[in-house]
Amino acid sequence: SALLGLSLVGTPVLAQPDLEPKSLAAQGCMKLRECTDGVERITNFSQLTDRYGDTWASPYKEELTALIKLMNQAGVEIYIAPDEYFVPSTRGLYYTDVNRLFLNDSYVRMESVFTDVFRHEGWHAAQDCMAGTIDNSFIAVIYDDEDVPQRFQLAAEVRYGMLQARAIPWEQEAIWAGNTPYMTQDALASCASDNPMWWDYKPTPKTAEWLTTEGYPVIPPTNYESYNGSRHTR
């Protein structure tokens, strides 16, 4: 997920290996953990207060603590990295093939922005889980278009419509989740549970078709007549 913006002038070239900063090559190097200078893995909330201050994120502490724990349980690695590793104006990234989530330190120092971006990228991890298992490289929408509030559909069209229109179905959900407390937390709790995620979130027709084609049991094995696909938003 990215916002529009301008690159900074005069940024030093990265070491280990020597790559142009704020480039796709630098981003890929970070993704593969071949570029690690200044990149911190986050496994608990106390690392955030150590980094940003004891009072940082106090309104969001409970939710952020839960999100970090659930991502750990689901197998998602969380990192905060310098701006030089990201293409211009990218606030955060989630890679489905390696299950790694990266936050751009230059954008997420304010607790409200951090929480928004963390929820957003965490939702992409939930979409990864909805595609059968978080250990694959696929991603699936969780909601039908008509379920997504119109303001978030419009926000996705403005942000991605010109260059990445195909991403809108996934991004409109992530923008919604980024702005909705506990929405990502509940989805990741379902992902980290012992049952398939689509037993909690009724799959869309296309997602159900994908799951069936890939051999996943779409309908719960018991009590399926009363299965409504409960939506875990609060």
Please tell me the number of Cα atoms within 13 Å of 208 on its side-chain side: 12
Between 101 and 218, residue with greater pLDDT = 101
What tens digit of pLDDT does each residue of 183-212 get?
A: 999 999 999 999 899 988 989 999 999 999
* Mean pLDDT score across all residues of the chain: 88
In this prediction, residue 3 has a pLDDT band, given cuts at 50, 70 and 90, of very low
Q: Is the pLDDT of residue 5 over 60?
A: no
Range with the poorest average pLDDT among 11-15, 69-73, 119-123, 158-162: 11-15
pTM above 0.95, yes or no: no
Helices of type H across the chain: 24-31, 46-52, 61-74, 111-130, 150-160, 168-178, 183-191, 205-213
In this prediction, residue 223 has a pLDDT band, given cuts at 50, 70 and 90, of low
Q: Is the pLDDT of residue 14 over 60?
A: no
Q: Is the pLDDT of residue 12 over 50?
A: no
* Long-range CB contact pairs, 166-175, < 8 A, 24+: 169/141, 169/145, 170/124, 170/127, 170/139, 170/141, 171/1, 172/145, 172/148, 173/123, 173/127, 173/141, 173/142, 173/143, 173/148, 174/1, 174/120, 174/121, 174/123, 174/124, 174/127, 175/120
Highest mean pLDDT, choosing among 9-18, 57-66, 225-234: 57-66
